[in-house]
């Protein structure tokens, strides 16, 4: 049993939950709301000094940073391997994960999805200039992922990998914004892939109930 700390609204927490489900590893989700007015509880900072989510505990082993957690989940447990067999394919998988963290998360989730969908739903006003400014970077992310995706059906080939778990929550939120849906229309491989991962039982079971 894995102890996972975070919230269902987090794309990163959901990525880990998807990987755990692929491996068939049960987990307890301990709620940590990083966006609570008072921030995360003080003792959570012992687990994650940067105060982000997720963090994981497995026995006496604690870990934060999603890419590291995903790799640990794959390597520490039985079940289907979530990493490709060859060094080049593994490098491509890690390249996708790095693109997601470095270029996709802020742009697709915060600059576009949160501004277009969450803010108005919560009674706020979308930052239209901010959304416009994010479209160029978002187009670049979509183009890069579309190129790396190859023939599919998964991002790193014929079998699901950590890249799919990492990418699916972010891309699914992005797709909910009209700008995201439009940009993804020009990316047929990504669109077909998103349909496949959205059909995973684990993807549906981890649909956020809060804050999205
Ligand atoms: N580098 C971290 C990023 C995790 C992250 O940014 N999580 C978001 C939620 S999806 C968070 O904790 N945000 C809180 C904040 O920005 O203060 C990882 O790979 O796990």
User: What CATH number has the domain bearing residue 64?
Assistant: 3.40.30.10
List pLDDT tens digits, range 169-180. Answer: 999 999 999 999
Note down the domain range covering 64: 2-76
Contact yes or no for 15/168 (Cβ under 8 A): yes
The string over 16-49, giving b where at least 16 C-beta atoms fall within 10 Å of a residue's C-beta and e elsewhere, is: bbbbbbbbebebebeebbbeeeeebeeebeebbe
- Asked if 72 and 93 sit in the same domain, the reply is no
| Domain shared by 107 and 200, yes or no | yes
Query: Is 45 a domain residue?
Result: yes
Of 125, 123, 106, nearest in space to 115 by CA = 125
Q: Is residue 82 part of a domain?
A: no
CA distance linking residue 12 with residue 206, whole number of Å: 12
Buried residues in 141-155 as b, exposed as e (16+ CB within 10 A): bbeebbebbeeebbb
76, 98, 120: which is the final residue of a domain? 76
Which stretches of the chain score pLDDT less than 70?
Answer: 210-212
The number of distinct structural domains making up the chain is 2
The HSE-up count of residue 177 (CA atoms within 13 Å, CB side) is: 29
What's the start-to-end Cα distance of the chain, in Å?
27
Q: What pLDDT shows up at residue 69?
A: 98
pLDDT at residue 209, rounded to an integer: 86
- CB 202: neighbour CB atoms within 10 A? 16
> Pocket of ligand 1, candidates 53, 64, 99: which has the most ligand atoms within 8 Å of its Cβ, to mutate?
53
| Domain endpoint, select from 76, 109, 125 | 76
Last residue of some domain: 47, 76, 105?
A: 76
In this structure, the answer to whether residues 181 and 200 fall within a common structural domain is yes
pLDDT value, residue 114: 98
Q: Separation of 13 CA from ligand 1 center, angstroms?
A: 9
Clarify whether residues 45 and 120 are in a common domain: no
Specify the residue with its C-alpha closest to ligand 1, atom 10. 10
Instruction: Calculate how far, in angstroms, residue 151's C-alpha sits from the geometric centre of ligand 1.
Output: 31
In a domain, 211, yes or no: no
């Amino acid at each position: 049993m894995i102890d996972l700390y975070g919230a269902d609204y987090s794309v990163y927490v959901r990525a880990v939950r998807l990987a755990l489900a692929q491996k068939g590893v049960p987990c307890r989700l301990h709620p940590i709301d990083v966006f609570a007015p008072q921030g995360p509880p003080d003792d959570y900072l012992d687990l994650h000094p940067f105060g982000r989510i997720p963090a994981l505990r497995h026995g006496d082993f604690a870990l934060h940073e999603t890419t590291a957690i995903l790799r640990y989940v794959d390597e520490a447990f039985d079940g289907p391997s979530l990493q490709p067999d060859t060094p080049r394919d593994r490098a491509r998988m890690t390249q996708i994960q790095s693109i997601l963290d470095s270029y996709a998360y802020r742009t697709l989730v915060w600059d576009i999805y949160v501004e277009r969908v969450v803010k108005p739903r919560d009674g706020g006003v979308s930052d239209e200039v901010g959304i416009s400014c994010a479209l160029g970077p978002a187009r670049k992310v979509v183009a890069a992922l579309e190129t790396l995706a190859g023939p599919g059906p998964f991002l790193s080939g014929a079998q699901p990998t950590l890249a799919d778990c990492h990418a699916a929550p972010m891309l699914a939120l992005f797709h909910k914004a009209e700008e995201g849906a439009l940009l993804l229309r020009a990316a047929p491989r990504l669109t077909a892939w998103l349909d496949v991962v959205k059909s995973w039982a684990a993807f549906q079971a981890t649909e956020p109930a809060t804050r999205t």
